[in-house]
Structure 1
Amino acid sequence: MLIRATFTLSLLTLTVSRSFDSGSSTINCVKCHATDPEKINVHLIHHSHDDVGWLKTVDQYYWGLNQSIARVGVQYIMTSVANALENYPDRRFIQVETAFFWMWWQNQEEVMRQKFKKLVENGQIEIVNGAWSMNDEACVNYQSIIDQFTWGFGILNDTLGECGQPTIAWQIDPFGHTREHGSMMTKMAFDALFFGHDHVIFGSAFGSDNTYHTPGGLCWDYLCSDDAIDDDPSSPGYNVNVKITSFVNDVKNYAKYYKTNHVIITMGGDFYYQAAELNFRNSDKLIKAFQNNTEVNLLYSTPSCYLNAVYQSQPVLETKTDDFLPYSNADDTFWVGYFTSRPNFKYFERVSHNILQVGKQLYSLARASGVSNLNVDLLNGLRQANGVVQHHDAITGTEKQHVNDDYVKMIHRGIIEVESQFSIIFNNLLNQSLPQLTSCLEANNSICHTSQTYDEFLVLVYNPLATPVDHIIRLPVQNASYSVEGPNGNIQSDVLEPISNFTFIKREEGPIVGGQDLVFVADEVPPLGIKLFLVKKGSENITRSKTFDIRSFGNEDLGFDLDENTNLLKSVTMNGQTLEISQNFYYYASHDGSGGRVASGAYIFQPNGEASVFGNASIVRSYRGNVVEEVQQKINDWITQIIRIYKSSSHNYIEFDWLVGPVDVSDKIGKEIITRFQVNNFQNNATFWTDSNGREMIQRILNFRPTFTYDPTKEPIASNYYPVTSKISIIDPERNLQVSVLNDRSQGGSSLNEGQLELMIHRRMLHDDSKGVGEALNEQQFGQGIVTRGRHWLVIGSRNETNKNATVSAQERFLAQQKLLQPWVGLETTGNLSNSKINELILTNYSALTSKLTTILNLITLEPWKNSTYILRLEHSLELNEDPNLAVPIALDIHELFQDFYVENVQEMTLGANKRLETVKGYNWEYLGHMTKKNTYSDDTFIEMKPMDIRTFIVELNRK
């Protein structure tokens, strides 16, 4: 993505890597040119940064369509590069995005494929990163990152072989960098992570107008306007000396900020090298012009060659244990709006991730069972779609509207393909003959054809977690009474009014008929298991009285109270604690860009002053039922919310189900909506905690950065915003209390005052922030601004005491797991099924596992892989300090993990499943007097999982 912003290209050393002979000129398959110990060695990295969608769709970028937006055709880049390198063995290039590589590879004749593969094998082309896309780091969940790297690596292994296995992570364009992403790159056995868009290290060296592009005066791509090199002394345009003088001055400036005499210079930009010879011919001349230079040695290089040259110099490196967020390119311009931009799309991405994991599990179980009519390739569309939308201009919400629409279509198509064989799979696993099951993708909008049309239907629930779950089933139904029957007979249920009339979205064919929500608990759904329920409609047109005078909900174990005057939250009881907590909605007026400031937009959050509160709430209704107790609040005409608790003991939280939109901009002012929680008498000492990509928590301190200083008065609000992909917490150390809010998608969040937490949930702006997308973030649907619905879960408790056999931090971990990987729910009318057949189905109980795993262990991947093998990926979910009794090593024998299969021929792999862990050696970097550690590995079926471990295995599943 082309932007104008200060950034740095930095090297993050990783704890797992390879070791090489110090005199070797070949690193893996890459051939490195000689360096000079007496000179500044300038490593020219020729690259093209190819966004997998941004201003144009993926297909438009690849084929060169919609040229009025950008004259770009990615299909020409790899062909042009291969031709430019073929007869010039000194030239080098790096290839990054596997999604585009795969599109190109599939459309090439064999002679071109072999040409490209030979260039990889002879070291002229280095494959770096290798993921399906160059993912964002702020808004993504770690499981989605792992998935898209794994799929990209698999394609590279199949096409380019061992020389195509990347050893360098290359994150040159994301807008800030997380600690967890660096940790995962370690687990993938990358030698180093190169990254950009960071305003901290080396920032002053690169200047305010430099990104990952070629230095000024040296841009020779056909998209550039710099003069070519004229090296003919007899020519009137001879300019070599001028080019050299300017470049040497830049290099000397750069070199001041490096620990060694090796400097890295990127030679490329967005979609460069469509006519590669232009770049390489001039680079040849530039390098030739430096052959006799006494100060600078210029050479074609790659990241691996640069890394190895730095390693030979043996610098002592510093470590950084926090992250590079939030990113800013000016004192008052913070790139934190994208943490929330396009909230509906961010939610849909999480839904698609959930369905993909379910699909990979079910297809694995079916293939291992020998289902003959199974098409495993139907997983590929959703694999690739999910990989695409992790891109740093996709999940971020910073793409043009027509591109976002294309992403949504891509995901939806992938979901339909994956789910198309679920009925076949369930019939095989249950040895039954079920009708065609369908999921309710629009249930969040109170729309589900099956449950709203039929008087009797089956509900199948599949649990993708390795522990049993009690899952809340919420289905839109007709205005009637309903009964629900499970394996043990009739179960309790509630029929509730929906959250708001806004959920009945008007379509071209007319409005969806209003109705009710049926709620019941699918209890003890087995691990990797199935449970069925029968729903029957009873009396029609039930009239329910609306109660307004209830202010207290729940009991002494779990409950909440409302304020009698404001109708807002007043107090919460949970885990043996009662705290005075209020919650309300506020908005920041979006700055319009006047007065020399940058406007709020898709990337930038630029508030025009403090947040304004919307006011008190009115109560639409209150309800105490068999399953749920809840109150529906109305804040204004376009903000409603339900606060609820579930009576099931396993649901130990307060749920906030909010509906916001269309955001009112009739006053011509953009608005950014937040929900804010205020805990009375709570001292968190200006400190709060946010998750890093859904895994380890990271400390944040108001107006403070651990590794540099800045002036928070320039922008006191946005400068304290951080990405929240799973949870945000505050802790009162004196009272030893913790308050956390968990969310269902990426959102920006902060704690701007003592005892306070806020999350941004919706954004609607009227101005562009001038960061490249060229559109205001003003999403429209059905002729109006979009409506977004979401949920937050509030958890409170003592830090050390255990309730429900776990500390509050551990409880939050388990809750986050259950919300990330929820059961898949399929519906179908009973049709012509007999009563005896229906009863037989309801009594069916299936689990793929021999026994449940402890809640501490997650089975995060079970995936069909190459040559009848499978990827099995296990995770210890707790950090060391989260629970004294549970955050301990856990032993597990995976040989008999499954009911029907033995796990055999185990090979432990790196996190991306492309390299055997035992083959990874390691650079012995020294940092602050310490040496890096090497991996441990096992090909045994008896393994030990330590806190925060993720271990990946390629296995066979053989029938018992």
Structure 2
Amino acid sequence: KHRSRNAVGASSLACVDLAQCGVDMTPASCSAHVLSTGPGMPSGPAALHSCPATKPSMLNVHLVPHTHDDVGWLKTVDQYYHGDRNNIQHAGVQYILDSVIDQLQKDPARRFIYVETAFFYRWWRQQSQNTRRIVTQLVNEGRLEFINGGWCMSDEATTHYSAVIDQMTLGLRFLNDTFGECGRPRVAWHIDPFGHAREHASIFAQMGYDGFFFGRLDYQDKARRMKTKEMEMLWRASESLTPPLADLFTGVLPNGYNPPEGFCWDQSCNDAPIRDDPDLEDYNVDEIVQRFLNAAFYKTNHIIMTMGSDFQYENANLWYKNMDKLIKYVNALQAKGSKVNVLYSTPSCYLQELNLANLTWPLKTDDFFPYADDAHDFWTGYFTSRPALKLYERLSNSRLQTCNQLEVLGGPKSTSGPFGEGDSDTMSKAMGVAQHHDAVSGTEKQHVAYDYARRLATGWAHCEVLVRNSLAVLSGSESPRVFCENLNISVCPLTESSQKVLYFSMNVYNPLGRTVSWPVRLPVNGSLYSVTDTKGKTVDSQVVPLSKSTQQMRRNRGYAKGELVFQVEAPPLGYTTYIISILKDEPPASSPKPTATRSIQNKVHAAESRQPSGAYIFRPNSSDPFVINKTAEIQIVTVSSTVQEVTQWFSPWVSQVVRLYEGHRELELEWTVGPVPIADGLGKEVITRLDTDIESSDYFYTDSNGREVLERRKDYRPTWDLKQTEPIAGNYYPINSRAYIKDDKHQLTVVTDRSQGVSSIYNGSLEIMLHRRLLYDDFRGVGEPLSEPGEFFDGLVARGRLLLTLTPPNMAADVHRPLAQGMVLQPLLSFQDGTPLANTKLEVCRGSFSGLQDALPPAVHLLTLSQWDKDSVLIRLEHQYQAKESKTHSQPITVNLQKLFSTLEVLGASEMSLGANQWKEDMNRLQWNTGNPSPWEVTLNPMEIRTFLLQLRQL
């Protein structure tokens, strides 16, 4: 059934009126039957599937049959699904699902959980109607249960919260559209990511999950928790959100995500099957039963056992036949006084039993970084691995948000307009795959990394058509529009062709809800240009010589000799247009000759040890980095009122440009690193270190997935007494957007353009790892060294930007919060040959446009604006400040939905969970109730995200 809120239909929220799933029913619908749930348990949608009976007087062992299916790692997504290239790894996801569905039908006691919606979505589309009916029946009965439910199982260190929310929404929506309430996951399940972020737990809690289970945590932390029986806890995942909004019950799985030793019965395993014929000499039932369990480090009389592993259950009969026997023979001993009860179960059913135990659980308020699995094996290298892919993923996120917004603002002609058929779905799915814990993390094989990048490029090609259509609708100009993909290396054929193009227009679309000022650098061959805005006002501009490092990076892909530099100002959720005319078609002035200085140094960690650095692990062979070059060549360029630049060369393969744009208080560092030389036989990890006189006293601060900030302390963990074995790698943490050090007077904040690793090894110092090239595999499964060949096969050259601010601590958030959002959601530039504003269609062309009536308040961020279906739009509004972070902005703030858009009328609004798969008022988590719907006036508290489904009409 569907329920409406304020005249908004919600076709994807099937079954939301119904109380229960888990009993016999027709395949197409959920049952309204209410199960007995016990004291204190909800009887509404959060009451779980019909769970197997347990025995209160016994130790109940919950067997959870599962498979862990990486959405790319050693093979590509397609290769994993089809079972291709099994010489790399034997894995075929389609056969896993085929086999499991077949085996579940043979015994109603059997259970299975599935996680990766990207794979299930593909499999489901290929099934017959009869198979779909069978699967729906299994889901309705609670025997096939979806856990986690995102498009992938995302990485937690190198992902940005906005992309995580998007990929979760993508997967959850498919499950909801397909199976209704019965398909809604209740438990988050991150059994493989390499460390766990607090912001992820906060997101899961706000999406309505009852609990969270994972497999990896630091070996010292795990030993302490096992000893004190604190393997399960309540994670308070926000310092700003009022409990229990971001509280999440969290458990560490006893065997990671593998079965207990000796109990793997997959075709990929070598463990002995259960041999239960007593007439045969290899009868082993007694032996297997006796060594089955050792679970004294958990608090209740329930224990969860993960029965499965990577890509297992391709022949599900092997697993189920042996588990059937295990359950039979272990439980048979109860007649002889045994207190062990084994049953098929799911994480949701296990969690329900823990909830019913009504115990007091320890509280967790920090995160689970960094992760180490042994004394010298810190998984902190992947914070930086594959820096170019990390940047491409971040830029793709910005492009996807722009694509989604313009689909809404441009209306129906956006997807089917003058430039053809465009869509945002292809990009959404590509970005969903890119969040996988072996994708943006940089821990995949090289050919898989290429595949991730190819998917993002294909997704953007579909979005490009949509963006062209939408901008044509909004501007009234159908002139061809081009996008320059390589502006970071000064390549753009249209702007470089000065002899053929006397003038051109540049459209700047701003996806943020506030006006932005943004520096633009266009490759040109003339020496003097005129830049005017839509009102005909001249904009200050200057042509600067193209740097040597840029020439080396682009090689023969462009021929510009200079860069035209000027500032643009774009309206909130809108665009503006600039006209660029060439005045002098002659080469720009050459660069000044370099001089020498010793004021700044870039440094390198060399990797060479028995445990080498690799895609995952960072293991330098010294606590002190070696300096590439103690002197740097300096090239000073001062540009009128537009920009001042200093270029520094530390070696032929490391350079940096220090820039200060007029009107901006932040300092920009543009770094270029590579190809990293390896002829000396050493792998290298390049860092940039910023030394100050700030008395940071071993404290520094990093963001969690781009949102809340966590305090870090050198050689310290809040949860246990750390025995530090790696003074460098053991102090590295992930950053997604910013990090800082501070004292009472000053705060140095660094804003990054991608996810990277960061630390503060010395007082007053902040170091960021920029690039890695290594010669050895680190023995964690990827099977090849992290040595990216680059486009010309001599090694990857990476380029990026850091923004630095120095402010008093009480003013810092007001500066770095908008800077960080601006780096994540960058303006999109598009170009047209000539100026449509000067043609005969002047009266129908719009040089500027804003989708908002007014700019959003500084504390409010428009996180999501995307077309949901034909008649409704999904919107998320976010308070982007933490409590007590800003004297000015850390206050509740109210936004009126009806006064939000300039060209769209809001007819109805329905508040939803963060994952957009439940109505907010129907969210009913275990023991915690949330929900306070407001039709038009939306009040946001610090760090709060509110999600709405809006019914809109184009004005």
With normalisation by structure 1, the TM-score equals: 0.89
Aligned-residue offset at 1:434: 3.2
Question: How far apart, CA to CA, are the structure 2 residues paired with 1:740 and 1:899?
Answer: 36
In the other structure, the counterpart of 1:267 is 307
Given the superposition, is the C-alpha separation of residues 953 and 506 from structure 1 closer, same or farther in structure 2, using an over 3 Å criterion? closer
How has the CA–CA distance of structure 1 residues 835 and 845 changed in structure 2, closer, same or farther, with 3 Å as cutoff?
A: closer
- The reply to whether residue 277 of structure 1 matches residue 317 of structure 2 is yes
Deviation at 1:584, TM superposition (A): 2.6
Query: Which amino acid counterpart does residue 348 of structure 1 have in structure 2?
Result: Y
* CA distance in 1 between partners of 2:793 and 2:820 (Å): 35
Contact 1:456 1:830 in 2 (8 A): yes
Deviations along 1:554-613, one digit per CA (max 9) or x if unpaired, are: xxxxxxxxxx97253xxxxxxxxxxxxxx431000112x4xxx31000000000101012
CA contact (8 A) 1:445 1:504 kept: no
1:656 CA drift (Å): 0.3
For 1:8, the equivalent position in structure 2 comes to none
Report deviation, 1:367.
2.5
**One of 784, 788, 806 as aligned partner of 2:798:** 788
Query: 1:719 maps to which residue?
Result: 730
Q: Taking structure 1 as reference, are residues 646 and 837 closer, same or farther at Cα in structure 2, changes over 3 Å only?
A: farther
What is the identity, as a one-letter code, of the residue corresponding to 2:543? V
Equivalence map 1:66-465=2 (5 Å): 66-199=85-218, 201-203=221-223, 210-247=255-292, 251=293, 253-254=294-295, 256-293=296-333, 294-367=338-411, 373=417, 378-430=423-475, 432-453=476-497, 454-465=501-512
Contact (CA 8 Å) 1:144, 1:353: kept in 2 or not? yes
- SS of the equivalent of 2:277 reads coil
Q: Could you report, residue by residue, the CA deviation over 1:136-159 in whole angstroms, capped at 9, with x for unpaired residues?
A: 000000001000001111111122
Deviations 1:498-529 (A, max 9, x none): 3334545467xx55324211111112x11111
2:627 maps to what in 1?
613
Q: Is the 8 A contact 1:499 1:640 kept in 2?
A: no
How much has 1:196 moved relative to structure 2? Answer: 1.4
- SS of 2:108's partner is coil
Distance 1:287 1:499 in 2: 70
1:866 aligned partner, one-letter code: D
Deviation at 1:263, TM superposition (A): 0.6
Give 3-state SS (helix, strand or coil) of 1:52's partner: coil
1:893 aligns with 2:904: no
Residue 777 (structure 2) pairs with residue 768 (structure 1):
yes
2: CA distance, partners of 1:377 / 1:506: 30
Q: Is the 8 A contact 2:406 2:414 kept in 1?
A: no
1:791, CA displacement in angstroms?
Answer: 0.4
Which deviations, in whole Å up to 9, do the C-alpha atoms of 1:284-336 show, x marking residues without a partner? 00000112331211110001100011111111011111000000001111000
Find the counterpart in structure 2 of residue 31 from structure 1: 50
User: Once the 2 structures are TM-superposed, how far is the Cα of residue 835 of structure 1 from its aligned partner?
Assistant: 3.4
Q: Structure 2: state its 5+ residue gaps.
A: 1-18, 21-34, 232-251
**Correspondence 1:529-544 to 2 at 5 A:** 529-544=574-589
Contact kept, 8 Å, 1:260 with 1:310, in 2: the verdict is: yes
1:461-610 mapped onto 2 (5 Å cutoff): 461-488=508-535, 489-505=537-553, 510=556, 512-523=558-569, 525-544=570-589, 546-547=591-592, 566=597, 568=599, 583-591=600-608, 593=609, 597-609=610-622, 610=624
Contact 1:858 1:877 in 2 (8 A): yes
* 1:54 match: 73
**Cα offset for 1:954?**
0.8
Task: Report the CA distance between 1:479 and its aligned residue.
Answer: 4.4
Q: Which moved more, 1:403-412 or 1:477-486?
A: 477-486
2-structure distance, mates of 1:220, 1:423: 54
CA distance in 2, matches of 1:376, 1:155: 23
How far apart, in 1, do the equivalents of 2:914 and 2:950 lie?
14
Structure 1 residues 880 and 313 mapped into 2: Cα distance closer, same or farther (>3 Å)? Answer: same
Cα offsets for 1:598-646 (capped at 9, x unmatched): 1000000000101012222111332232311111111111111110111
Q: Residues 468 and 210 (structure 1 numbering): CA distance in 2 closer, same or farther, change over 3 Å?
A: same
- Answer whether contact 2:221 2:719 (CA < 8 A) is retained: no
Gap change, CA 1:684 and 1:438, over 3 Å in 2: same
Q: Decide whether aligned partners of structure 1 residues 391 and 834 sit closer, same or farther in structure 2, where only a CA change above 3 A counts.
A: closer
Task: Quote the Cα distance in structure 1 between the aligned partners of 2:671 and 2:162.
Answer: 26
**Deviating more after overlay: 879-888 vs 686-695:** 879-888
Q: How does 1:747-896 map to 2 (within 5 A)?
A: 747-781=756-790, 782-800=792-810, 807-830=811-834, 835-837=838-840, 844-896=847-899
Range with bigger deviation, 371-380 or 316-325: 371-380
Alpha carbons of 1:209 and 1:69: their partners in 2 closer, same or farther (altered >3 Å)? farther
Tell me whether 747-756 or 862-871 shows the greater mean CA deviation: 862-871
From the superposition, tell whether residues 238 and 353 of structure 1 become closer, same or farther in structure 2 (CA, over 3 Å): same
TM-score, normalising length: structure 2: 0.89
Q: Matched residues in 1 for 2:323 and 2:880: separation?
A: 50
Sort the Cα spacing of 1:203 and 1:301 in 2 relative to 1 into closer, same or farther, 3 A: farther
| Structure 1 residues 901-943: Cα deviation after superposition (integer angstroms, max 9, x where no partner) | 222321111111110111112322xxxxxxxx53232141111
Query: Could you say if the C-alpha distance between residues 545 and 388 of structure 1 is closer, same or farther in structure 2, counting changes exceeding 3 Å?
Result: closer
**How much does 1:452 deviate?**
1.5
The separation in 2 between residues aligned to 1:209 and 1:920, in whole angstroms, is 30
Count of aligned pairs: 882
Cα 1:139–1:503, aligned 2, differ >3 Å: closer, same or farther?
farther
Look up the equivalent residue of 2:567 and give its one-letter code. Answer: V
Which residue identity lines up with residue 855 of structure 2 in the other structure? K
Which stretches in structure 1 are left out of the alignment for 5+ residues? 1-16, 550-563, 569-582, 801-806, 925-932
The residue number in structure 2 matching 1:625 is: 640
Q: Which string of whole-angstrom CA distances, capped at 9 and with x for unpartnered residues, describes residues 201-250 of structure 1?
A: 54475999953111122111111111111112222221110110111xxx
Q: Supply the distance in 2 between the matched residues of 1:363 and 1:511 (Cα, whole angstroms).
A: 32
2: CA distance, partners of 1:315 / 1:377:
54
Does structure 2 retain, via aligned residues, the 8 Å contact 1:376–1:864?
Answer: no
- Which of residues 696, 699, 712 in structure 2 aligns to 1:700? 712
Contact 1:505 1:511 in 2 (8 A): no
Percent of aligned pairs sharing the same letter: 39
Task: Check whether the contact 2:416–2:469 (CA below 8 A) recurs between aligned residues.
Answer: no
Distance 1:370 1:275 in 2: 46
Matched residue type, 2:732: Y
Report the Cα offset of residue 423 of structure 1.
2.0
- Listed one character per residue, the Cα deviations across residues 733-769 of structure 1 (whole Å, up to 9, x for unaligned) are 3xx3211111100110000111000000000001110
Secondary structure at the counterpart of residue 328 of structure 2: helix
Find 2:680's aligned residue among 651, 655, 667. Answer: 667
> In 2 relative to 1, CA 789–741 (structure 1 residues): closer, same or farther, beyond 3 Å?
same
The residue type paired with residue 743 of structure 1 is T
**1:818 aligns to what SS in structure 2?**
helix
CA distance in 1: counterparts of 2:807 and 2:438, whole angstroms: 38
* C-alpha separation in 2, matches of 1:80 and 1:834: 62
Which residue of the partner structure matches residue 64 of structure 1? 83
C-alpha distance in 2, partners of 1:356/1:787? 25
* Secondary structure of 1:290's aligned partner: helix
Residues 369-406 of structure 1 show CA distances to partners (whole Å, capped at 9, x for unaligned) of 89864988721111001010100000010000000001
Task: Give the Cα separation in 2 of the matches to 1:279 and 1:834.
Answer: 68
Q: Does 1:642 align with 2:657?
A: yes
Aligned counterparts of 1:377 and 1:63: Cα–Cα separation in 2: 28
Distance 1:565 1:403 in 2: 43
Does the aligned pair in 2 maintain the 1:220–1:282 contact within 8 Å?
A: yes
Residue 56 of structure 1 contacts residue 69 of structure 1 at CA under 8 Å; is this kept in 2?
A: yes
1:729 partnered with 2:740: yes
Q: Does structure 2 retain, via aligned residues, the 8 Å contact 1:486–1:843?
A: no
Structure 1 203/32 Cα, relative in aligned 2: closer, same or farther at 3 Å? Answer: farther
